[in-house]
Chains A and B, each alone.
Chain A
């Protein structure tokens, strides 16, 4: 199970840290990703991190403004977002990669999402 938190209303230029609490599987063995959906738009991948946390990947739209990380001792995934823009307004989902050996395989478990609204 994955449960996101940390969303809310934030002013343009502000910062926010999203969290994703994992349970029911060996968290440290699986890569994780953040995927978002802006209002009326489709799914957009945001960022990924390997099981160890040593390898990270970002979409161009958030690169340089966001940092993905994880605390395997707490079974928690994070997404630190800075310099937020109106176009970052979206539901943010965390997703678990199904297999333990790679970062780019199926997302077999998704959270329910947390809403981030960037507006003045």
Chain B
């Protein structure tokens, strides 16, 4: 069981907006930045959102992140078939002195 809680799956149709949640506790999401990664199994994970809501260069503005209290969210608007992937949130945990990842959310574009 992961320290960070994500829904195991999410889905949407092309053009829709999908939101993926990430819930933690005071020692991680409540006090540190949240990061989001895109991952296709067997390939290198890719940084999607850093420091709660910042996008690296090259990441479309269809992807946005937010955080409130001990929860964070990743929103994907204008859903496309190529967005199908696994999405993970990650946070540094002060109590564990290490990174914790969410269990991952498998996004399906119907």
Residues of A within 8 A of B (CB): 33, 35, 37, 42-45, 48, 57-60, 91, 93, 95, 98, 104-108, 110-113
Instruction: Write out the residue numbers on chain A whose beta carbons fall within 8 Å of the beta carbon of B42.
Output: 91, 113
Neighbour of A113 across the interface among B44, B56, B99, CB < 8 A: B44
Neighbour of B102 across the interface among A42, A91, A98, CB < 8 A: A42
Q: How far is the CA of A60 from the CA of B88 in the complex (A)?
A: 20
Q: How far is the CA of A59 from the CA of B50 in the complex (A)?
A: 22
Neighbour of A45 across the interface among B32, B50, B86, B99, CB < 8 A: B99
Interface residues on B, range: 20 to 34
Interface flags, B46-81, vs A, CB<8A=1, else 0: 110011000010000000000000000000000000
Query: Once the chains bind, are B44 and A107 in contact (CB under 8 Å)?
Result: no
Query: Once the chains bind, are B101 and A107 in contact (CB under 8 Å)?
Result: no
Query: Once the chains bind, are B37 and A43 in contact (CB under 8 Å)?
Result: yes
Q: How far is the CA of A60 from the CA of B35 in the complex (A)?
A: 21
Query: Once the chains bind, are B101 and A106 in contact (CB under 8 Å)?
Result: no
Query: Once the chains bind, are A42 and B92 in contact (CB under 8 Å)?
Result: no
Indicate if B22 sits at the interface (CB-CB under 8 A): no
Neighbour of A104 across the interface among B44, B88, B92, B102, CB < 8 A: B92
Give the nearest-CB partner of B92 in chain A: A104
Which of A45, A57, A93, A104 has the most chain B CB atoms inside 10 A of its CB?
A104
Which of A45, A58, A106 has the most chain B CB atoms inside 10 A of its CB?
A106
Q: How far is the CA of A74 from the CA of B33 in the complex (A)?
A: 32
